[in-house]
Each structure stands twice: as structure tokens, then as C-alpha cells.
């Protein structure tokens, strides 16, 4: 199975890596090119014990991929998860503009 996770932060990176560890082919997508470039080198942007090894292992196994280009994977995935930030609006409701 091929999936994409849009937003490679705390939620997206950890979830995507765990899916890859379970044997799923995962593409993690983010708008932050610097973050994606580092992840493609196996360098993770957050402190999460054990995660960097797991990321590197799954990159090597070609089950975990990182890109800034969502459209390049759209035709190859069965499921897309959204894990982008949803900061609150002034009235406290979730700002979902980034998900549109
Ligand atoms: N971190 C938590 O413990 C937690 C718990 C419950 C719910 N959530 C929710 O999960 C979501 C993600 O949280 P997080 O902590 O991973 O946030 P985060 O800020 O760590 O990661 C969000 C990522 O999304 C990327 N992004 C923003 N807009 C994008 C776009 N249009 N396309 C692709 N990537 C984009 C950002 O560059 C960033 O890397 C939020 O809605 C948050 O409210 C988080």
C-alpha cells in the first residue's frame, strides 16, 4: 500500500515513519524545503528517541520518501493523511485554510 502524509512535523513524521516500519510505502510531504532536504539525508528536525534510526532504516529500505511536491505522488497513493498545522482563529476555532 502507498500512502502520503501532508505535513512532516511531530505528527506527520512520527506517523509516517511508523507506517513505513510496518511495511507501508510512505511519502511525507512538506512545504519546508530545508526540512525535506535534511530528512532526505536522514536528519530529523525534532527530538524523539529512536526516531532518527527508524527514519534512516526505512529510507534505506525505500519505504520512506520525502518531497515538497504533493502532485508527483497523487496518482500513486491510496490514502492521504493531513497533518499540517491548524492554528486557532481569533474566536478559538481551528484555522483550516492551510488544509484547503
Ligand atoms: N503534536 C501533537 O501532539 C498534536 C496532538 C494532537 C493534534 N495535533 C494536530 O496535528 C496537526 C499537526 O501537528 P504537529 O504538531 O505535527 O505540527 P507541526 O507544526 O510540527 O508540523 C506541521 C507541518 O506541516 C507543514 N505544512 C504546513 N502547511 C503545509 C502545506 N500546505 N503542505 C505541506 N506541509 C505543510 C509545516 O511546514 C510543518 O512541518 C495540527 O493540526 C495539530 O493541531 C498535534
Query: What is the CATH superfamily name and number for domain 2-99?
Result: NAD(P)-binding Rossmann-like Domain (3.40.50.720)
60 Cα to the center of ligand 1, angstroms: 25
> pLDDT tens-digit profile of 41-84?
999 999 999 999 999 999 999 999 999 999 999 999 999 999 99
- Can you tell me which atom of ligand 1 is nearest the CA of 32? 37
Task: Tell me which of 94 and 31 has the higher pLDDT.
Answer: 31
Bridge partner list, 82: 6
Which residue of 7, 10, 100 sits with most ligand 1 atoms within 8 Å of its CB, as the best mutation to test the pocket? 7
- CA distance between the termini of the chain: 25
> What size, in residues, is the chain?
100
Q: Choose which residue among 85, 92, 95, 96 to substitute to test ligand 1 binding: the one with the highest number of ligand atoms within 8 A of its C-beta.
A: 85
Amino acid at each position: 500500500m502507498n500512502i502520503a502524509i501532508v505535513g512532516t512535523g511531530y505528527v506527520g513524521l512520527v506517523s509516517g515513519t511508523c507506517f513505513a516500519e510496518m511495511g507501508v510505502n510512505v511519502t511525507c510531504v512538506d512545504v519546508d524545503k530545508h526540512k525535506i532536504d535534511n530528512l532526505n539525508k536522514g536528519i530529523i528536525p525534532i527530538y524523539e528517541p529512536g526516531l532518527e534510526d527508524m527514519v534512516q532504516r526505512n529510507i534505506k529500505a525505500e519505504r520512506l520518501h520525502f518531497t515538497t511536491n504533493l502532485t508527483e505522488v497523487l496518482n500513486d497513493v491510496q490514502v492521504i493523511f493531513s497533518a499540517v498545522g491548524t492554528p486557532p482563529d481569533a474566536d478559538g476555532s481551528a484555522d483550516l485554510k492551510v488544509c484547503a
